[in-house]
Structure formats: structure tokens, C-alpha cells
Amino acid sequence: MTHYIYGAGGLSLEAFSILSSIATLGTKNLYDDVIFVVDEEFLDCNKYYNCEIISINKFNQKAQTILLAIGDPVVRIRLLEKLPNLKLSQSIIHPSSVISPFAKIGLGCIIFPSVVIGPGVVIGNNCVIYSNTSINHNVNIDECVTISSNVSINGNCQIQKGAFIGSNACLKQHVIIGKNCIVGMGSVVISNVDSEHVVAGNPAIFKKIRTNTLF
């Protein structure tokens, strides 16, 4: 099976590394099974970390699936709107992560090492969850959300489309994070956050309206 990864930046290499960790459990030569995909203007070579790299114009959107390795959730949303025929691949999950059999994970997600996902958790398509994050029971995460490393999300929280949660943040149980929000690094969120708000601090307070909004 060939894995197509959109992007040629840091997150695409992280996704490649996760796929490599999965491949070590088998006998595949991963370098023959990964192809990176970029926009035409960024195609300046034919190999990327010993793997083939092609233009999005040569990618068969109707016949092939792809993983969107773009860290900014807003950019992922825009890309899906720009290329509506893209089919997301199966999610990739590092072998060291612990996923409850009663959790549901959508397509195209990238889950880093040592993530813990509890029972009743629902994660939408195209989410990125970085290392050492803990997501407790019955949390609902909408599509195109990015959750950075060392985040603690307590039970029954809701995180809506396009939100970005910074490293080391902590969300109190039952908190709702609105669409396209940014929660700053190290924030302790004890109350709901309205859509498009940027919050930070302990406790987290409103800082500004996010300007590159889609909603």
C-alpha cells in the first residue's frame, strides 16, 4: 500500500516517522511506500528524504487517499475547500499510544507517541494530536482540530472545528472550546471559550479575536 502525505514541512516528517514506527512491526521497506505531495510551486526536487515527491496536479484525487500533514487547522480546512474531491486516508496512530476500544477516531488523523484516549471519546476527521496528550472519557473533538503536546483534556469537554490547543494546556471537565479558537501554551481553561477567541493564562482569559478565521 502506498501512503500519500500532503506537505513537505515538519509535520509531514513527523507523519513519516510515525509510519516508520508502524512499519518496523512488519517487514516493509517504507521508502518505497510513501510519496509526498505538494503544490506545484513548491516542487523543486524529485526526492524528499529518499521518497518520491510529486505535484498535487499529478495526484489522482478520485482513486487515491491522502494524509494532510499541515499543522495549522485553518490551513487544513482551506485545503479541503480548495480540493473538495480529496479522500482522506486511514488515520495513523503511533504504536505507543493507548486508545480505548470504546473511542471513535475519524479519517486522516495523525496521533503521535504516548497519547492516551479514553472511552467514549469521539475524534473527527483530519485532527492532529501531539505526544503525551491525555484525552479523558466522553470528550468530543470536531474535525480539523490540532492539539499540541502534553495537553490534559478532562471528561466531557467539547472542542469545535478549527480549534488549536497549545502545549501543556489543561481543560477542566465539561468545557466547550468554540470554533477556530486558540488556547495558548500552558493555559488552564475553566470556562467555555467563544468561537474565534484567543485565550491564555491561568486561569485562561480572553486576549483577542483570531483574525485568520474561516467561520
Whether residues 73 and 129 share a domain: the answer is: no
What pLDDT, on the 0 to 100 scale, is given for residue 24?
Answer: 65
Residue 27 pLDDT:
47
Amino acid 3 reads H
Residues with Cβ within 8 Å of residue 76, at least 6 apart in sequence: 68, 70, 126, 144
Residue 168 falls inside a structural domain: yes
pLDDT in tens, the chain (215 residues): 789 999 988 999 999 999 988 876 554 555 568 899 988 877 777 677 788 888 988 888 878 899 999 999 999 999 999 888 889 999 999 999 999 999 999 999 999 999 999 999 999 999 999 999 999 999 999 999 999 999 999 999 999 999 999 999 999 999 999 999 999 999 999 999 999 999 999 999 999 998 765 44
- Grid coordinates representing 174 are 465539561
Residue range(s) defining the domain that contains residue 100: 92-206
pTM: 0.92
Alpha-carbon gap, residue 164 to 215, rounded angstroms = 14
- Same-domain pairing of 133 and 106: yes
Contact yes or no for 174/189 (Cβ under 8 A)? no
Co-location of 169 and 74 in the same domain? no
Three-class DSSP category at 97: coil
**Is there a single domain that holds both residue 47 and residue 106?**
no
CATH of the domain at 152: 2.160.10.10
pLDDT in tens, 69-113: 999 999 999 999 988 888 999 999 999 999 999 999 999 999 999
* 96 and 201 inside one domain: yes
Looking at 88, 107, 133, which one is the last position of a domain?
88
Walk across the sheet containing 65-68 and list its strands: 47-48, 51-55, 34-38, 3-6, 65-68, 87-88
Domain boundary among 88, 120, 149: 88
Residue 11 domain-assigned? yes
> Is-cis flag, bond preceding 113, omega within 30?
no
pLDDT for 17 equals 92
With beta carbons less than 8 A apart as the criterion, state whether 59 and 39 touch: no
* Cell 514541512, residue located: 9
Task: Quote the CA–CA distance of 195 and 144 in Å, as a whole number.
Answer: 15
The Cα–Cα gap between 20 and 191 comes to 39
Are 60 and 132 found together in one domain?
no
Percent of the residues in the chain that have a pLDDT greater than 70, as a whole number? 93
Q: Determine the residue type at 127.
A: C
User: Could you give the CA distance from residue 164 to residue 106 in angstroms, rounded to a whole number?
Assistant: 18
Cβ-based neighbour number of residue 81 at 10 Å: 9
Total of domains in the chain: 2
